[in-house]
């Protein structure tokens, strides 16, 4: 029987293993409602995904559909997703839309929605529901133990079912809930929450933080947010643990990032934003990693916060960008890169999203922008990387790989990378939607692979010695073996440039 997928190693070099082998998710996440209707999936979604050459699709499982009546479980949607993914030859990462989705509790089953006494909500200081864009925002309180128990029960049924029907290991990971946190207030002010807030920080957390006392004593003015982080983490731990007891797939929690105006509650307070992760880690040890949904402009800064010695980089949602992908692969042992709303890329009849909706979602209008040409280049980038995964992994182990990326704060569109044996001088071109950047692998001090888009570059020696090109080739790796195309000599010897298309070149130099 195939082994259950697992994560091995810690921090930056942690790797997901599927069928016993390292697996890098070249993925895409579906729009929220796509997986609620299998016929829609086969007619609209799968055909638009094929040109992207994904190996992983990230798709939701909805609690409201899984347990339409209390204690009655319906696995039809999950089963059809599995069948379709197998037909398409891709793996699945399932999103458990349980108690919390983008802060709200909109995916709880109707029998829960109608029982507001038992399944009660987070309230503001005045006892009223928080508002989100002037509408009452219903977030089941993490202090409502009955709700957390119900979620843990439903999730464990889902995981038990997967164990039974998925010996093929089509599902490789599960995201527990989605973008947790309180929108519209910094914390829950229900009676139960107030009582917990009045008590000292629990010993286990205080010990891990190296301070004890009240939430403000330990966390200063961030007390309310860290309090929510702790209680959400405890709830997620109960849910994830119950699921893992049935079937121990790797699990992660994703995050709506901190954003302007930087006040907890204008983004979901208590979610795993990077400064809450230490608290989450203590509260939810069953969650292997924390993953940023990157719609903010500062891509580079964000991946730096999440690709750390404690946490491997895993990006379940982001914009469609080729350069961001290549940078992530070069700068990190990136476990997953997955643009959101991926099925739009090659769908000419996609629904247009208006500006007001984007405001409610709190993401820039360009976040949903999809251009077929960018999709095609991302597919090519996926193919290039897929052939050279072993080369890239080895290079990460030996610290001989770098990523480079143009970001808006580069005043000069030039950058110097000091490599072990040489300097690489990069010039970024107009990034357009595909972005401008790439990665460089140092095969030896004098041999390089450069995979990039919208950039030009050249190498110089670190000590001023002049260099002679021995060979420059275009090509690609097929199962780890370099298959060269043209040898780029003559005029092409001087033109180190990738424009709108992704390119991969091999260089070998000697001292003059
Ligand atoms: C982040 C959420 O996690 C997704 O489910 C989706 O709602 C996107 N935002 C885009 O709106």
Report pLDDT digits (tens) over 251-277. 999 999 999 899 999 999 999 999 999
Cα 212 to middle of ligand 1, angstroms: 36
Domains defined for the chain, CATH in brackets: 6-387 (3.20.20.80), 394-511 (2.60.220.20)
Three-state SS for 257-303 is CCCCCCCECCECECCCCHHHHHHHHHHCCCCCEEEEEECCCCHHHHH
State yes or no: pLDDT of 376 exceeds 90. yes
Q: 381: part of which helix (H) or strand (E)?
A: helix 372-387
- How would residue 512 be classed by pLDDT, with cut points 50, 70 and 90? confident
The whole-chain average pLDDT of the chain stands at 95
User: Which of 421, 402, 430, 401 lies closest to 497, judged by CA?
Assistant: 430
Contact 306, 380 (CB under 8 A): no
Cα 143 to middle of ligand 1, angstroms: 25
The residues that bridge with 449 in the sheet, in sequence order, are 441, 506
- How would residue 506 be classed by pLDDT, with cut points 50, 70 and 90? very high
Pocket of ligand 1 (CB under 6 A): 32, 102, 178-179, 293, 317, 340, 361, 363
Looking at residue 453, its pLDDT comes to 97
Peptide bond into 261 cis (omega under 30): yes
Residue closest via CA to ligand 1's atom 5 equals: 32
State yes or no: pLDDT of 209 exceeds 70. yes
% residues pLDDT > 90 (the chain): 88
Pairing of strands 422-428, 455-461: antiparallel
Cα 102 to middle of ligand 1, angstroms: 7
Distance CA 19, CA 74 (A): 28
User: Ligand 1, residues 30, 252, 293: which to mutate, most atoms within 8 A of Cβ?
Assistant: 293
Looking at residue 410, its pLDDT comes to 67
Average pLDDT over residues 20-48: 98
Distance CA 233, CA 227 (A): 10
Could you tell me the CA-to-CA distances from 124 to 189, 193, 289 in Å, in that order?
A: 5, 11, 30
Atom of ligand 1 nearest to the CA of 32: 5
Average pLDDT over residues 210-222: 98
Contacts (Cβ under 8 Å, ≥6 apart) of 365: 355, 358
State yes or no: pLDDT of 359 exceeds 90. no
Looking at residue 152, its pLDDT comes to 99
- How would residue 445 be classed by pLDDT, with cut points 50, 70 and 90? confident
State yes or no: pLDDT of 421 exceeds 90. no
Residue closest via CA to ligand 1's atom 10 equals: 361
Distance CA 181, CA 155 (A): 19
User: Ligand 1, residues 29, 30, 32: which to mutate, most atoms within 8 A of Cβ?
Assistant: 32
Atom of ligand 1 nearest to the CA of 178: 3
State yes or no: pLDDT of 365 exceeds 70. no
Looking at residue 503, its pLDDT comes to 97
349 DSSP 8-state letter: T
Per-residue pLDDT of 58-79, as tens digits, reads 999 999 999 999 999 999 999 9
Distance CA 235, CA 232 (A): 5
Reading the block at residue 118, the tokens are 């038992």
Cα 31 to middle of ligand 1, angstroms: 8
User: Ligand 1, residues 102, 133, 315, 355: which to mutate, most atoms within 8 A of Cβ?
Assistant: 102
State yes or no: pLDDT of 142 exceeds 80. yes
């Amino acid at each position: 029987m195939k082994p259950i997928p697992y994560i091995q190693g810690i921090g930056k070099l942690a790797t997901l293993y599927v069928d016993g082998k390292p697996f890098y998710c070249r993925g895409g996440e579906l729009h929220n409602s796509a997986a609620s209707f299998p016929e829609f999936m086969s007619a609209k979604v799968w055909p638009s995904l094929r040109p992207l050459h994904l190996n992983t699709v990230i798709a939701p499982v909805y609690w409201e559909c899984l347990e339409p009546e209390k204690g009655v479980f319906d696995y039809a949607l999950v089963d059809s997703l599995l069948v379709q993914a197998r037909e398409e030859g891709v793996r699945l990462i399932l999103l458990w839309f349980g108690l919390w989705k983008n802060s709200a509790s909109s995916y709880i089953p109707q029998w829960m929605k109608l029982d507001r006494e038992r399944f009660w909500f987070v309230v503001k200081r005045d006892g009223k529901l928080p508002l989100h864009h002037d509408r009452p925002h219903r977030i089941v309180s993490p202090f409502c133990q009955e709700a957390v128990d119900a979620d843990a029960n439903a999730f464990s049924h889902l995981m038990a079912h997967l164990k039974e029907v998925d010996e093929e290991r089509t599902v490789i990971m599960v995201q527990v809930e989605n973008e947790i946190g309180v929108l519209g207030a910094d914390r829950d002010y229900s009676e139960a929450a107030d009582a917990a807030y009045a008590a000292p920080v629990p010993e286990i957390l205080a010990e891990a933080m190296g301070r004890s006392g009240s939430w403000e004593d330990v966390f200063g003015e961030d007390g309310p947010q860290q309090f929510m982080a702790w209680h959400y983490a405890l709830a997620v731990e109960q849910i994830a643990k119950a699921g893992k007891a049935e079937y121990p797939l790797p699990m992660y929690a994703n995050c709506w990032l901190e954003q302007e105006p930087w006040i907890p509650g204008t983004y979901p307070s208590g979610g795993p934003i990077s400064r809450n992760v230490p608290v989450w880690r203590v509260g939810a040890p069953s969650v292997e990693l924390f993953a940023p949904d990157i719609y903010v402009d500062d891509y580079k800064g964000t991946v730096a916060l999440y690709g750390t010695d404690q946490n491997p980089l895993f990006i379940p949602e982001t914009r469609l960008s080729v350069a961001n992908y290549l940078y992530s692969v070069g700068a990190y042992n990136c476990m997953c890169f997955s643009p959101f709303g991926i099925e739009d890329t090659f769908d000419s009849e996609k629904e247009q999203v208006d500006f007001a909706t984007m405001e409610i979602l709190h993401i820039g209008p360009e976040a949903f922008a999809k251009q077929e040409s960018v999709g095609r280049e991302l597919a090519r980038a996926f193919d290039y990387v897929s052939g050279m995964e072993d080369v890239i992994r080895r290079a990460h182990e030996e610290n001989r790989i770098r990523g480079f990326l143009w970001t808006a704060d580069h005043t000069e569109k030039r950058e110097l990378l000091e490599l072990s044996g040489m300097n690489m001088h990069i010039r970024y071109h107009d990034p357009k939607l595909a972005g401008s950047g790439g990665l460089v692998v140092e095969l030896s001090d004098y041999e390089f692979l450069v995979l990039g888009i919208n950039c030009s570059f050249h190498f110089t020696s670190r000590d001023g010695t002049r260099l002679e090109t021995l060979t420059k080739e275009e090509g690609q790796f097929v199962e780890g073996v370099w298959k060269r195309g043209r040898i780029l000599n003559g005029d092409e010897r001087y033109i180190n440039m990738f424009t709108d298309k992704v390119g991969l070149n091999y260089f070998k130099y000697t001292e003059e």
